[in-house]
Amino acid sequence: MGQMQSDAEKEVALKNIQLLYRKFTSECPSGNLHLHEFKKIFGINRNSTEEESAYTENVFRSFDTNKDGQMDFMEYVAAVHLVLRGKLEDKLRWSFKVYDRDGNGCLDKEEVTLILAIIHKIRTKNDPSISGNVKDICDRIFELVDKNNDCQISLEEFVEGAKKDPWVMDQLKLDIGPCEWFIESQKEPS
């Protein structure tokens, strides 16, 4: 008996990778995706806020796994797969990397507050009815997630806390909204 997989669980198929590679090389002739090109893909331009720009830089940094300041094609494929088809746990692990600016494997209140402030400003720009104090949100997240009370959130605490509490999940999740170029790169030509 064969295993059935939903579209959300399927890996990027070989034919899609070939199409993605063609699109990648046409948009990034150097063979690498640089930060300014990444920002363009995500619709960040001169009219974007400082927060949106900073958020996109953090996302780019998280996908640049070899930390060379650019994304090669394999890093790009991994990013596309995660964004469009990734499982919840994988997305949470990636979100943790975005929060963990110093890369030490733990989140302190400064790191969490920084990303929460960026997300909060983006959310309130899109929906002015959203309210809440970022410091209070951060304090509550630490109360709910920092199980050993060491003033740091480990990857395990982050994933477990987000999975257990819908409010925490809503506060910690990173919704990246790629523009049409990113989505179109997944489609076959008509």
190 residues of the chain, pLDDT tens digit each? 444 444 433 444 667 788 888 888 888 889 999 999 888 877 788 888 888 888 888 889 989 999 999 999 999 888 888 877 788 899 899 899 889 988 899 999 999 998 898 888 877 777 778 778 899 999 999 999 999 999 999 999 999 999 999 999 988 877 655 544 455 544 544 4
pTM for this structure? 0.73
Spatial contact of 65 and 78, defined as CB atoms under 8 Å apart: yes
Other beta carbons within 10 angstroms of residue 11's beta carbon come to: 11
Domains of the chain: 14-184 (1.10.238.10)
Using CA atoms, how far apart are residues 121 and 76, in angstroms rounded to an integer? Answer: 27
Residue range 17-30, pLDDT digits in tens: 888 888 888 888 89
Number of Cβ atoms within 10 Å of the Cβ of 25 = 12
107-148 tens-digit pLDDT? 999 999 988 988 888 777 777 787 788 999 999 999 999 999
Scored b (16 or more CB within 10 A) or e, 61-71 reads bbbbeeeeebb
